Amino acid sequence: MLVFFARRIVCFCVGVLLVAPVICRLNQSSCASQETVEKLLSVIDHPNVRLFLNLIALCEGTNSASSLNAGPACLDDYHVSFTWKRFPSFSCHPGELGIKHTVVKNKGCCDEYSLVSSAAGRYQFITKTWHMIARELKINEIEKNYAPYLRRLYKKIHKLYKEANPGCCFYFRNYSDMYREKFNPFFQDLGAVYLLYKLGVLDAILLGKIERIIPLIARLWASFPDKQNHSFFKNQKARSYSWIMSQYYKAKLSMRAQKK
């Protein structure tokens, strides 16, 4: 089975992120149906989906917020590439320009080993994985096919951002920015949600019942633990299950308190 992998050292030695279609459903390569894309567009701004996307970023070290919440992310989070280097433009995935970064780690008493990756963006997509997402979602045609959805979504995201970040500039100057740059924050979020959909865990995330899906997420991101509380990937480190769930529960309690 082909495994596309991405590696990225994350904060506090969490380990390396690997975003990869690694199980049967993820390996199915076919264009997403109109029904699927419409579902993704309808839930991408759902509080539980936003919270889980922020949880992924928190685990991987690409979340700049001081605490986990369900608010929109900061623009800087989407500019991060492997080894925390920034790329200047959202026009395309940096890997398409041949950009890769290398870091050397020492295993302690063992030999050093190098990690080389094209991983980029808030969810550290490698070039091959991003190409798969862009192809199956038909990102180049998404505005033409789903303009009414995108216009409504643009207004909702703009409102959410202004409420969460008063006085800050919205990361889209205008509506056309939402689809002109093919690796922009909106498409990065959409790509991550699409991977979660393909993995079969999106419905559980929408319901806020993530306790049993964490080991499945471990097959996508190395900072999530498997059933043995280890990274699914060799020589990588994962956050503990208890730490992830404690962060999630605290954020959910905060969300409930804000509603009162």
Model pLDDT, residue 114:
57
Enter the pTM of the model: 0.79
Place of tokens 């804000």: 258
Return the number of other C-beta atoms located less than 10 Å from residue 75's C-beta: 18
Q: In the chain, which stretches have pLDDT less than 70?
A: 1-29, 83-84, 96-116, 162, 164-171, 260
Q: What are phi and psi of 86, to 5 degrees?
A: -100, 145
pLDDT tens digits, 69-107: 888 788 888 888 876 677 777 788 777 665 555 544 544
Residues 191 and 137: beta-carbon distance below 8 Å? yes
Architecture of domain 11-259: Orthogonal Bundle (1.10)
Q: What is the 3-state secondary structure (H, E, C) of 21-76?
A: CCCHHHHCCCCCCHHHHHHHHHHCCCHHHHHHHHHHHHHHCCCCCCCCCCCCCCHH
Burial 229-257 (b: 16+ CB within 10 A, else e): ebbbbeebbbbebeebeebbeebbeebee
Burial 184-217 (b: 16+ CB within 10 A, else e): bbbbbbbbbbbbbbbbebbebbeeeebeebbebb
Model pLDDT, residue 140:
87
